[in-house]
Amino acid sequence: MKKLFFLLLLFITMSSFGQAFVANYDESKLPAYTLPDPLLFNNGKTVRNKADWEKRRIELLTLFENEVYGKTPAGKVELSAVVISQNNDLLNGTATRREVQLKLKNKEAEVVLNLLIYLPKSTQRVPLFLGYNFNGNHTVTADPEIAVTHAWVRNNPAQGITSNRSNESLRGSDASSWPVIEIISRGYGVATLYYGEVDPDFDDGFRNGVHALYPGKRDSTSWGSIAGWAWGLSRVMDWLQKEKSIDAQKIIVLGHSRLGKAALWAGINDPRFAMVVSNESGCGGAALSKRIYGETVERINSSFPHWFCMNFRKYNNKEENLPVDQHELLALIAPRPLYVCSAEEDRWSDPKGEFLSCVGASPVYRLLGKEGFPATEFPGLEQPVTGTIGYHIRPGKHDIKPYDWKCFMNFADGFFKK
């Protein structure tokens, strides 16, 4: 009898779990929702000018820290750097490549990051894109000199990864996401590092990666991995802004998917980033949470419990109670340029929800004297809409493609190459 009861309980639990994670892809089944106004203070008063916005920005940032991403610890860490490889004659003499090892240290704890940088040869300081890669620097190009990461990677037996360690077989496997030749030819540099070196992407109790630099008791507002990855981008920025060949006033932070969420949070917390690019960042990124379309708050918290602070779990299946939504997250980047993009088949990331976030952030940009987002109707495929906020949706699936990079650079040209 006890065994039968256990099996019945297991069936009910699994059935409930399955029902809870059935994604909605039907616009006619969206719940009625009201988006919070980014230009209303918590007390209901209206934000009327730039001075008011600076106060409102603090309110919103605090809400996102406490309820979504968690609070990043205060206090600096020691940063040191050493060049571990260099090639000054790449791409027919038009580019250079460096691998730089960065060490972050706080007392006895240390984190080692490996930064891969490609720069066009120029007599002028060059603008630069900075973003994480998913599988190691050696996957970005087929260059045999680039070191294979020694950090934890997700197992993938089809690729020969069975012990959470990468290998030579993956060299250049993600090159299509990093069109280095095209980036260099447009006059931009590009820097990338493996996100797993900053914080391994599994629920390890925050014992490894950058969280280990700040040990101590955690609470419901403690930072998760998204905030950790964002913090790591700022530590890379600490080093980049001292490099004489790079224009520190024109560094663009970008990311795809979960790393798009991290890029947004990095750009919000670090005004040194001149522009922010979010590629298909979805739930917890650019897509509205209250639409309940594709991935939901409950699904993301259940699948990736280490990404956000514990308080975010209060809104599992209760998105209507969220005091903020992602259009307000995008608004926190104002007045700096922001580019958001989606893919037609990537319904999980809710392309329309990402578009509507751009629309919802636009009033803040206009208050600050910027154009904002010049559209209210969802655009057609490969028809970018650009103001100070830009957006496009392209054919295809969840990925970052050369077409996306072309749009990023076209958008950046309008601000950095006038």
Rounded Cα gap, residues 285 and 240, in angstroms? 25
**CATH number, residue 189:** 3.40.50.1820
Strands 109-120 and 95-106: antiparallel
Q: Work out how many domains the chain is built from and give that number.
A: 1
Structural domain of 297: 57-416
Those residues of the chain that have pLDDT short of 50 are: 1-18
Cα dihedral 136, 138, 140, 144, rounded to 10, equals: 180
Residue pLDDT, tens place only, 4-38: 433 433 333 333 344 557 999 999 999 999 999 99
Query: 259: closest CA among 228, 290, 295, 235?
Result: 228
Tell me if 47 is assigned to some domain: no
Token pair in block for residue 170: 């993956």
Tell me if 369 is assigned to some domain: yes
- Point out which residues pair with 144 in neighbouring strands: none
Rounded Cα gap, residues 128 and 95, in angstroms? 13
Q: What DSSP character marks residue 169?
A: G
Q: What is the pLDDT of residue 102?
A: 98
Residue pLDDT, tens place only, 121-131: 999 999 999 99
Q: What is the pLDDT of residue 396?
A: 98
Tell me if 5 is assigned to some domain: no
- Residues serving a catalytic function are 257, 398
Tell me if 217 is assigned to some domain: yes
Q: What is the pLDDT of residue 21?
A: 73
Q: What is the pLDDT of residue 159?
A: 85
Tell me if 2 is assigned to some domain: no
Q: What is the pLDDT of residue 20?
A: 52
By CB atoms closer than 10 A (0-12, 13-18, 19+), residue 304 is: middle
Supply the pTM of this predicted model: 0.95
CB 337 within 8 Å of CB 354 = no
Tell me if 297 is assigned to some domain: yes
Query: 391: closest CA among 402, 401, 376?
Result: 376
Q: What DSSP character marks residue 172?
A: T
Token pair in block for residue 202: 């599994």
Tell me if 130 is assigned to some domain: yes
Tell me if 20 is assigned to some domain: no
Residue carrying the six token digits 């700040």: 214
